[in-house]
Amino acid sequence: MTEGDLDEVTALAASAFAQPWGREVFAEELARSWSMLRTLRAAPGGPICAFANFWLVRDEVHVLNLATAPELRRRGYAQLLLDDLLGFARAHRARHVTLEVRRGNAAAQRLYRAAGFAVIGVRPRYYAEDEEDALVMLLTLDPETGFVEPREDVAF
Ligand SMILES: CC(C)(COP(=O)(O)OP(=O)(O)OC[C@H]1O[C@@H](n2cnc3c(N)ncnc32)[C@H](O)[C@@H]1OP(=O)(O)O)[C@@H](O)C(=O)NCCC(=O)NCCS
């Protein structure tokens, strides 16, 4: 992603999240050496269909944002970005991939669970605007093989 994509990503985030980040926040992410912003276009030069934003900190990849334009959902775009993110994690020999997801966000949880994430914790009333809980999800990679280590949900 480049600075030229900032307006489009900001608009996509506004259509996908209740409390979306503004342009300046994405610009800050772009400037951080440890932050990755990936965009997906169905065709070269076409509009951005989906984007992902994640950090690499030591042996952990932390997912901050993953969103698909509302009119383009259920076409596998988020799956492609998640696969790319996990490939990045493996290439950097990251051991853990973590994220927070709203307790009521069944769509995202299903996507993450299918990849091997499991719920390991809860942050009560994490989302200040409506006080919804965040579930903390974790995926662990074997550093030698890159395989996902099996993990069960902890109930909260
Ligand atoms: C969650 C989100 C990123 C999924 O994007 P998407 O491009 O539609 O997802 P995909 O088409 O790649 O779906 C992959 C899998 O995720 C699951 N999934 C996605 N949307 C789903 C839905 N509405 N209901 C149930 N499962 C869903 C399914 O398992 C799906 O596989 P399938 O279509 O073969 O059944 C999208 O709904 C979104 O942008 N939501 C708003 C932002 C958000 O909540 N982001 C996550 C923050 S943690």
Q: What is the pLDDT of residues 17-30, one digit of tens each?
A: 999 999 999 999 99
Do 16 and 68 touch, CB atoms closer than 8 A?
Answer: yes
What is the tens place of the pLDDT at every residue in 27-78? Answer: 999 999 999 999 999 999 999 999 999 999 999 999 999 999 999 999 999 9
Distance 150 CA to ligand 1 centre (A): 22
- Strand duo 132-141 + 96-102: pairing: antiparallel
Domain layout of the chain by residue ranges: 3-149
Q: How far is residue 129's CA from residue 62's CA, in Å, rounded to a whole number?
A: 22
Residue 87 carries which side chain, given as an amino acid letter? G
- Paired residues of 96 in beta bridges: 60, 140
CA–CA gap between residue 63 and residue 60 (Å, rounded): 10
Q: Which atom of ligand 1 is nearest to the CA of 73?
A: 8
What length does the chain have?
156
CA of 132 to the centre of ligand 1 (A): 19
Structure token pair of residue 23: 């342009």
pTM of the predicted protein model = 0.97
SS3 of 98, please? strand
Looking at 3.30.70.260, 3.40.50.11930, 3.40.630.30, 2.102.10.10, the CATH number of the domain 3-149 comes to 3.40.630.30
